[in-house]
Every structure is written in C-alpha cells, then in structure tokens.
Amino acid sequence: MDDRKRRFEEAALPHLDAAYNLARWLTRNDHDAEDVVQEAFLRAYRYFDGLRSGESRPWLLAIVRNTCFTWLRANRPAEISGGLETGMEGAELADFDANPEELASIHFNRVTLNEAISALPAAFREVLILRELEDLSYRDISRIVEVPIGTVMSRLSRARRLLQQSLRVITRARVPGVHK
C-alpha cells in the first residue's frame, strides 16, 4: 500500500474541477484543457513531497497554471506573445470616471459576458478567474501567478476595466439606441 499515492489523491482530486476550470479558461478549448490538466497532475505527483497540508489548492493551481503557459508558449505562442505588459500598458483605457453609462443601465447576457471574458488577454483572464470563480485571496493569486500582490491588484483592476469596456462596446453594437 502506497501511502504517498493515497496522500496525493486526497490532496489533489478534490481540486480537479478548479484545475480544469482554470485550464479551460486559459486554453479556451476542452480537449487542450484535458491534456494540460493530465500533464499537470503528473507533474504535481512528481513534486508532491514539498507540499504542506492545507495549501493543496493554490499549490495545484500554480502547477496547472504553469503547465498551461508552457503549453501555450509551445502551441499557440501568438496568444501570449507581446506579453501582458506591452499589450496592455499602451492600451487605450478610459478613466473610470469618464465611463459614458452605468453598467447597471446596460443589459448584457450570459453569452456576451463569457465572450468578453474569453477575449481578455491571458494574464488578465487568469487573475479574474482565480478571483471571481475560485474565490482566492490576493495572496494566493500572487503565489499562483508568481507576481507581487501589487501586480495582482493592478491586473485585476485592468481586467475589470477592460471587461466593462468591452461589455459596453458589445452591447452598444448589438442594441442600437441603448447608448444615448
């Protein structure tokens, strides 16, 4: 009887859905997400010994996240090339006080919202998913993504601003007359 395997299973399997959700949002494809998660679980099993109890979720998600980016770099470099910083730093971001209408006043549906999240650059998509869907603290996100907490804050803030902007744009384009 292999105690190590049993411990690994107990630590990792409860987080399989979280692992898959993150991989699916990063690869944007069911088949690739499955491959990435499987690879990540193999890696996780290999490096399992350094894990302290109670930290298995951020630990596993960090491995999944790194596996995703390795995979994207190898298979779809265009999606992460140019990097987050260059891609976004120069992007046209309106100040929040210049927003033309309240988000509450526009109607977007589930499909629109998912499209808009999916279209975010990977570095912004990942912090948003980790925060909103996995409910992780800034500290955990900073360990998973391997950036300082200040960077987590600014990426989240930008991710949300981009998302608000694209929801406004999509909605305005689809429903003429909504924007006065």
Partner 1 sequence: MKPEETSKLLNAYVDRELDPGATLGLEAELGRDPVLKRACRDLELLGAAVRADAAYHEAPQSLRARLTTNAADVPGRWRPRLLRWLPAAAFAAGVLMTWAVGWLQPMVGEEARLGDEAVSSHVRNILAHRAMDVASSDEHAVKPWLSARLDYSPPVRDFAADGFELSGGRLDYLNGRLVADLVYRHRQHIVDVFVWPASPDRPLSSASRKGFNVVHFTRGGMTYWLVSDVALPDLERFAQALPRSSSSP
By CB under 8 A, residue 143 contacts partner 1: no
By CB under 8 A, residue 47 contacts partner 1: no
Q: Report the C-alpha gap between 27 and 55 in whole angstroms.
A: 25
Token pair of 98 as six digits = 């210049």
CB 150 within 8 A of CB 115: no
**What single DSSP character describes residue 119?**
T
Out of 43, 138, 147, 179, name the contact with partner 1 by CB under 8 A. 138
Token pair of 66 as six digits = 């790194």
Q: Write each residue from 118 to 137 as x if it is in contact with partner 1 (CB under 8 A), else as -, in one continuous string.
A: ----------xx-xxx-x-x
Minimum separation from the CB atom of position 95 to partner 1 (A)? 4
What angle (nearest 5°) sits at the alpha carbon of residue 153, between those of residues 116 and 50?
Answer: 100
Q: Which is nearer to partner 1, 45 or 69 (CB)?
A: 45
Cβ within 8 Å of residue 77, ≥6 positions away? none
Rounded to 10°, the helix 149-174/138-145 angle is: 90
By CB under 8 A, residue 30 contacts partner 1: yes
By CB under 8 A, residue 161 contacts partner 1: yes
Instruction: Enumerate binding residues for partner 1 (CB under 8 A).
Output: 1-2, 5-6, 9, 13, 16-17, 19-21, 24-25, 30, 33-34, 37-38, 41, 95-97, 99, 102-104, 107-110, 113-114, 117, 128-129, 131-133, 135, 137-138, 153-154, 156-157, 160-161, 163-164, 167
